[in-house]
Amino acid sequence: MITNFSDSKSIAGIATNLSSYNTLNSICQPLNLDIWLPNTLSSNNINNALFYDSSLKENLVDIWHKYNAFVFCLATGAVVRLIADLLENKATDPAILVIDEQGKYVISLAGGHQGGADFLTRLVAEHLGAIPILTGSSNANNLMGIDIMGNSYNWLKGEGNWTEVSAAISRQETVQVIQDCGSILWRNSLPENHNFNFTPPLNKGGLRGDQALSKGGIREDKFENCSQIYITYKKANLAENTPQVYWYPRVLWVGIGCERGSSKTLIDFAIKHIFETQNLAMEAIASIATIDIKADEVGLLEFCQENNYPLLTFDAETLSKIEVPNPSKIVNQEVNTPSVAEAACLAAATNLNKFNIVRETISNPLLVSKQIVKMEGEKGAVTVAVAQSDLEYVKSNGKLSLIGIGPGNLNQITPAAKTAIMEADVIIGYSLYIDLIKPLFYPGQIVESWPITKEKERAQRAIELAQWGLNVGVISSGDCGIYAMGGLVFEELAEQNWDGKQPSVQVFPGISALQSASSRVGAPLMHDFCTVSLSDLLTPWEVIEKRLNAAAMGDFITVFYNPKSKTRTQQIYIARDIFLQYRDGNTPVAIVTSAYRENEQIRVTTLEKMLDFPIDMLTTVIIGNRSTKNYQNWIITPRGYLGFE
Ligand code: SAH
C-alpha cells in the first residue's frame, strides 16, 4: 500500500477564508481531514474545524510533525514560502498538496513519492471532481517511483544513488534490475514500453509473474555504465562508476538458540557477525525465531524490540520434527529437540512457503547452518542459523476489500468504493469491469484482469494475496454482494477456516442493476419487489421456476438478472409465460441493457411484447405489479398515497 491516509487521522487541511474552507469541507469527511482555520473565522458557526490564534506560519511550525500530509487551499506561491524552511528531506517530509479556492485543480507540490503526495492528489482530485496536477517524471512515464516500488511488499530501502537512478529512468535509459529474491509481482504493472532489463530474465511462458526467484539465480552479465536496481538479500557492494540502488525484500529468518542470560549486546554481535561473514544484508531480516522456552529471554526480547523484529517461537515438539543438517544430542537432552536455531528458522521460513503464489520453491531454504558465537567480555553463547523463504514477509495482516463498482460509470461509484480501489495494492476482477474503472488506477498498482468464468479462482487468488499481507480489492459490477464476488470470497474464506479477522474484510456496497435499471425508467420499484436470476448454471431450473411462480403469484414487482445468454435462450420465454398466468398482458415492463454504459439501451414495453426486443447478458428486465402504470415513457408503481390500485 502506498499510504493509507484515509484510515488514520493524518491529514491537515489549511484554509484562510470561508470559500477555501468550503472547498476543504467537501473532502473533510471522506478523507478524515483536520481543517485548520485562523481564529478570525471562529464566529462563523463552523463546528468541524480547529482554530489557531497565532500566525499561519507559527501554527505550521507547531503542527508540522503531527500530520503525514498538508492540503493547502491557498495560493501556491504563499504555500512555497510557508513551507520552505520546514522541508528537510524527501524521505521524511510530509505530502504537500495545493488546491485552488474553487476546487478545480489539485497540485502535488512536494513529497510526491515517499510522502505519498501523488497518491493523495489523485484521491483528492477524484473526490472533488478536480484535475490532478502531477509533475513528476515517473508519473509521466506511467511508472511507479523506484523509491517507493517495494513499499507494498514491505521491502526495506537500502543505500544507493536514488537521484541518479531515477534520472536515468526518466531519461528512458536502460536500467538493469538484478533481483535474487522476493516477489516479482511488481513487474506485472510495468507499462509495455519500459526500459528495465531483468537479471535473471523474466520467463514469459504464461506465468502470472508473481513467483519468487530461487537463490543463486543471478547472472553476472553486466551492462556497461547502465544504472542498476538490486532487489536482494545480499549485502550491498556499491560500484564506483555505476549508479545503483538497493531494495531488500524480507526473506531471511534468523534462528537463535542461546544460553540463559545471554545479553542483547551478545545477540546483536552474533547476528551482525554472521551476516557480515556470510555477506547477507541485515535489512533483509524478516524475523527472529526460537524455541518457546526462550520467549522470556530478556536479551533476546530487548534485541527484537530495539530492531522492531517479530519474535516467533515454536514448541519443542514442532522443532523436533524438522529435519536439520546438524542435530545435537546434548541439545535434545536439555530441551527435547535436537535443534533450536536451525529448526526454528526453517519452521519460520517455510511457514511462508505454504502459498501457491510461488512457482520456484527454494529447494534448500537453510542458507546458513548453525554457528556458535561468543564475545569477549560477555557471558553466554549464541547459536545462529539463517533460512530463506520463497516469498518475502510482508508484515501487515492483509485486507480484502469487496467492492461494488455500480453499473459502470465512474460517477455511479460511491466515494468510499473509489477510495478503496485507489488504495488497494492489487485489484482483481473480470476484464470488462477492470476496463470500466481504469482511470482510477495508479502507476505501479497491480491489476489482474480475469476471464468471466473463473470466479472461484479469482476469489482464491484474492484470498491468497491478502493472506500474504497485501491489500486486495475484488471488484464486482453493481453491488458486490448481489449475484457477485462478495459471497464467493466469504464462502472460500469459510472453507479455509478463516477466523473472521485475518485477513480483514471490508465490504463496499454499489448501485445494483435493479437500481440502475429502475432509475432509467422512472420509479417501478416503489412497492414490494424481488429479484430472480434466470441463470441455471449454479441453481437448478426447478428452483428458479418455483420462485418465478411465487413472485408472480405474490404480485411482487420482479427484476430478472442474467435473463438470457448465447446458450441459455429459453428461460426468459418460460419466465414470461409464468407471469402471463397471473398478470395482464399490458403490465409495464422495462428492458434496460448496459445501464450507464456506452451502449446503454432503454425500452419501456409490456409483458405481452417484451420478447420482441433484444435481451442479453447485459440486460435487466423489470416486470411491474398489478398496479404499475405507464406515464409518457416512464414507469411508475404507486406507493399507495393516492389510493392503492
Ligand atoms: N452484482 C451485479 C449483478 C451481477 S449478475 C449487480 O448488483 O448489479 C449480472 C447481471 O446483472 C447481468 O446479466 C444483468 O442482468 C445485470 N446487470 C449488471 N450490470 C448491468 C447494467 N449496467 N445494465 C443492465 N443490467 C446489468
Total Cβ atoms within 10 A of residue 373: 18
The atom number, within ligand 1, closest to the CA of 476 reads 1
Contact of 205 with 237, CB cutoff 8 Å? no
Distance from the alpha carbon of residue 429 to the mean position of ligand 1, in angstroms: 15
Question: Does the Cβ of 512 fall within 6 Å of ligand 1?
Answer: yes
Rounded to 5 degrees, what are φ and ψ at 533? -90, 130
Return the pLDDT at 220. 45
Sheet of strand 244-248: strand arrangement? 156-160, 244-248, 227-231, 175-179, 196-199
Spatial CA neighbour of 235 closest among 276, 199, 196: 276
Say which DSSP state 385 is in.
Answer: E
Strand order across the beta sheet in which 629-631 lies: 522-523, 634-636, 629-631
Q: Domain for residue 618, yes or no? A: yes
Q: Does 483 contact ligand 1 (Cβ within 6 A)?
A: yes
pLDDT band for position 360 (cuts 50, 70, 90): low
CB of residue 597 inside a 6 A radius of ligand 1: yes
Please work out whether the CB of residue 575 comes within 6 Å of at least one atom of ligand 1. no
CB 392 within 8 A of CB 463: no
Looking at ligand 1, which residue's alpha carbon is closest to its atom 5? 483
CA 528-530-536 angle, 5° bins: 170
Q: Is 552 helix (H, G, I), strand (E, B) or coil?
A: helix
Based on the fold, state whether residues 354 and 477 are members of the same structural domain.
no
Atom number of ligand 1 nearest to Cα 594: 23
Residues 627 and 583 in one domain: yes
**Do 317 and 415 belong together in one domain?**
no
CA 174 remoteness from chain centre: 29
Res 356: pLDDT: 61
Given a cut of 50, whether residue 178 has pLDDT beyond it is: yes
227 in ligand 1 pocket by Cβ < 6 Å? Answer: no
Q: Return the C-alpha cell found at 13.
A: 487541511
Quickly list DSSP for 253-269: EEEEEE-TT--HHHHHH
**Where do we find the cell 538479500?**
233
Residue 567 pLDDT more than 90?
yes
Residue 183 inside a domain? The answer is no
DSSP-derived 3-state class of residue 411 = helix
Q: Is residue 479 in contact with ligand 1, taking CB distance under 6 Å? A: yes
pLDDT, average across residues 60-88: 95
Residue 168 has pLDDT above 70, yes or no: yes
Please report the atom of ligand 1 found closest to the CA of residue 617: 13
Q: 516 C-alpha vs ligand 1 centroid, how far in Å?
A: 9
Query: How does residue 45 score in pLDDT terms, banded at 50, 70 and 90?
Result: confident
The single-letter code of the amino acid at 479 is D
Rounded to the nearest angstrom, the distance between the alpha carbon of 409 and the centre of ligand 1 is 13
Least trusted range by pLDDT, from 63-67, 350-354, 421-425: 350-354
Question: Over 90: is that where the pLDDT of 214 sits?
Answer: no
In this prediction, residues 623-635 reach a mean pLDDT of 96
Confidence of residue 207 (pLDDT cuts 50, 70, 90): very low
Question: What tens digit of pLDDT does each residue of 239-262 get?
Answer: 888 999 999 999 999 999 999 999
Assess if residue 140 is contained within a domain. Answer: no
Q: Are 28 and 15 in contact (CB under 8 A)?
A: no
**Phi/psi of residue 228, each to 5°?**
-135, 140
Q: CATH number, domain at 450? A: 3.40.1010.10
Return the ligand 1 atom nearest residue 596 CA.
Answer: 22
| Between 359 and 538, residue with greater pLDDT | 538
pLDDT for position 355: 64
Residue 141 lies in a domain: no
Q: Where are the beta strands (DSSP E) in 446-499?
A: 446-450, 471-476
Q: Is residue 193 part of a domain?
A: no
Considering the domain architecture, whether residues 313 and 382 belong to the same structural domain is answered as yes
* pLDDT above 80 (res 644): no
Residue 32 pLDDT class (50, 70, 90 cuts): confident
Is the distance from the beta carbon of residue 478 to the nearest atom of ligand 1 less than 6 Å? yes
The 10s digit of each residue's pLDDT in 330-341 is: 999 999 999 999
Atom of ligand 1 nearest to the CA of 510: 7
Cell of 106: 489539485
The answer on 404 and 507 residing in a single domain is yes
Pocket of ligand 1 contains residue 595 by CB under 6 Å:
yes
The candidate with the shortest Cα–Cα distance to 227, out of 146, 164, 157, 150, is 164
What is the DSSP-derived secondary structure letter of residue 618?
T
Q: What's the 3-state SS for 191-259?
A: CCCCCEEEECCCCCCCCCCCCCCCCCCCCCCCCCCCEEEEECCECCCCCCCCCEEEEECCCEEEEEEEC
Mean pLDDT over residues 557-571, rounded?
96
Question: Final residue of a domain: which of 77, 101, 135?
Answer: 135
Output 304 or 32, whichever has higher pLDDT. 304
Give the pLDDT mean for 409-438: 93
Looking at the fold, whether 67 and 113 belong to one and the same domain comes out as yes
Q: Is 475 in the pocket of ligand 1 (CB under 6 A)?
A: no
- pTM for the predicted model, two decimal places: 0.86
Q: In terms of DSSP H, where are the helices of 68-150?
A: 76-83, 117-128, 137-140
Residue 35 has pLDDT above 90, yes or no: yes
Summarize the confidence of residues 53-77 as an average pLDDT.
94
For residue range 301-327, list pLDDT tens digits in order. 999 999 999 999 999 999 999 999 999
Domain residues for the domain of 79 are: 11-135
The residue out of 388, 410, 443 marking a domain boundary is 388
* Same domain membership, residue 380 and residue 274: yes
Distance CA 116, CA 109 (A): 11
The CB of 407 under 6 Å from ligand 1? The reply is yes
Average pLDDT over residues 38-42: 91
Amino acid at 639: R
Q: What average pLDDT does the structure give for the chain?
A: 90
Measured in Å, residue 534 CA sits from the centre of ligand 1 at 12
Residues 481 and 592 in one domain: no
> Can you say how many angstroms the Cα of residue 509 is from the centroid of all Cα atoms in its chain?
17
482 C-beta closer than 6 A to ligand 1: yes
Decide if 278 is inside a domain: yes
Give me the pLDDT at residue 2, please: 44
pLDDT in tens, 286-303: 999 999 999 999 999 999
Which of 308, 325, 512 lies closest to 404 in space, CA to CA? 512
For atom 18 of ligand 1, which residue has the closest CA?
A: 513
Last residue of a domain, one of 111, 135, 159: 135
Query: ∠ CA(245), CA(249), CA(253), 5° rounding?
Result: 135
Residue 642 pLDDT more than 90? no
Cα 187 to ligand 1 centre (Å) = 33
Whole-angstrom Cα distance, residue 573 to residue 553? Answer: 17
User: What CATH number is given to the structural domain containing 616?
Assistant: 3.30.950.10
* Grid coordinates belonging to 253: 529468518
- Examine the pLDDT at 518 and tell me if it is beyond 50: yes
- Please tell me the distance between residue 618's alpha carbon and the centre of ligand 1 in angstroms: 6
β-sheet bridge partners, residue 351:
none
Give me ligand 1 centre to Cα 446, in Å.
25
- Do residues 494 and 386 lie in contact, with contact meaning Cβ atoms separated by under 8 Å? no
- Distance from residue 482's CA to the centre of ligand 1 (Å): 9
CA angle 167, 169, 175 (to 5 degrees): 120
Q: Is residue 424, in this structure, part of any structural domain at all?
A: yes
For residues 219, 223, 228 and 229, what is the CA-based torsion angle, rounded to 10 degrees?
-30
Q: Is the pLDDT of residue 54 over 80?
A: yes
**What's the pLDDT at 16?**
94
Kind and range of the H or E element at 331? helix 329-335
Return the SS3 of 389: coil
Count how many domains the chain has. Answer: 4
| pLDDT of 358 | 55
User: Average pLDDT, stretch 468-472?
Assistant: 94
Q: Ligand 1 within 6 A of 429 CB?
A: no
Phi, psi of 568 (to 5 degrees): -100, 90
CA 294 – CA 349 distance, rounded (Å) = 19
Alpha carbons 317 and 624: distance in angstroms, whole number: 67
